[in-house]
Amino acid sequence: MKHNHRKEDIYFDHELNAWIINDAVIAKDILKNPSFTAFRKSKQIESIHTSQYNKDVMKEFYNHWLMYQKEGIDHTNMKRSVQRALNQSIARLSKSSVDASHLSLTKEQINVVNDISVPFLYSYLPRFYGISKMDYKNLLDIGVPLIDYIMLDNQDGDEIVKSIHKTRNYLIDLINKKKLDPNGFVWKLLEEAGQTMEVIDILLNMIIDGHRPFLSSVNALIYHTLNNKDMTFKVKDVLREYPPFPYIRRVCVNDTKYHDVIIKEEQHVLLMIQNINTDMNRYGLTFGHGIHYCLGVVIVTLGLERLYKQLDVLKDYTIKEYKWSRTFSFNELTILDIEKRLP
């Protein structure tokens, strides 16, 4: 790879026991390079102190998620099925009218997260998936331990496996009782790929794991709008500037050289999205790159563009208080309170 680079573009962090990548060219190459894999959950789960039964259930469940699936023809074919289902459900959603969840901007004081962002998601996402708002909320509640394992490294195997069984059974019950919109994404994917446990787990991954990053992006859009009242920016700019996930992790499977550095087999690399995105256009690496590129980009972009068109109602409001929660694994606005300016 022949391009000028700085020492801080790629270096080994002994505390994290991983290579840190801050260079867009190297990062994009890694995400396309078969010498690096996203398939890493099995080894991680095997180290948890829990029963072998729990480990086996967890490995099956998380290895079904497209973001962790082993690269190959099966993964490629499943992504194609997901893409076809997305195209059908998005086409229908694009023609429908989805409001911005009753913004309630008659109030002088507004809690953006609770009054605007969360109601918007509960209006938009259930309609996309083709499930009721109540069922969507129930799946999120039941699935909390599944996300806590990913986000907070909660290693309570019994709790996680209980949640896996409950969320699977809940979704299967919706399917069996025909409580799905036949034009929604869930039904379309079942038509494309069949009702297998892999498909069930992919749906749960999207529904449960996709909620919080989408919420983070909605909050970021509103925050950015309040700070840029001329509204000349694009949704893609916001998604690039405020990525919910600070990094992408990959594991090296074959020794690979970048400049004077050799990344060895089984070593981890962390592609630092926030840093890399400053040198990129469009979405940057917010949705990844290469074979594991996140297909949810279409869902998020369409939803944010719909909300964006209605945010001119914020012109009379100013930020009263805000708080970013930035951890090593996630970025989000936990507080965004606004108030109407005095005339």
Q: Given pLDDT bands bounded at 50, 70 and 90, which one contains residue 39? A: confident
DSSP 242: S
State both tokens at 276: 């890399």
Nearest to 26 by CA among 216, 206, 224, 269: 269
Tally of CB atoms within 10 A around 184: 20
Amino acid at 71: E
What does pTM read for this prediction?
0.92
Q: Check: CB of residue 71 under 8 Å from CB of residue 39.
A: yes
Q: Given pLDDT bands bounded at 50, 70 and 90, which one contains residue 104? A: low
The phi, psi pair for 47, rounded to 5°, reads -85, -5
pLDDT mean across residues, the chain = 92
* Distance (Å, whole) CA 29 – CA 47: 30
Helix (H) or strand (E) holding 6: none
User: Which residue blocks in the chain are alpha helix, DSSP H?
Assistant: 24-32, 41-46, 52-64, 73-95, 112, 118-129, 133-142, 144-152, 157-176, 185-193, 197-204, 211-227, 235-241, 273-277, 297-308
pLDDT at 105 over 90: no
Looking at residue 100, its pLDDT comes to: 42
| Locus of tokens 């962790």 | 68
What sign has the CA pseudo-torsion 120, 124, 129, 131? positive
Percent of the chain at pLDDT > 90 equals 78
Concatenate the DSSP letters of all residues of 128-168 into one string: HHTS-HHHHHHHHHHTHHHHHHHHH----HHHHHHHHHHHH
pLDDT per position as a tens digit, 305-328? 999 988 988 888 999 999 999 888
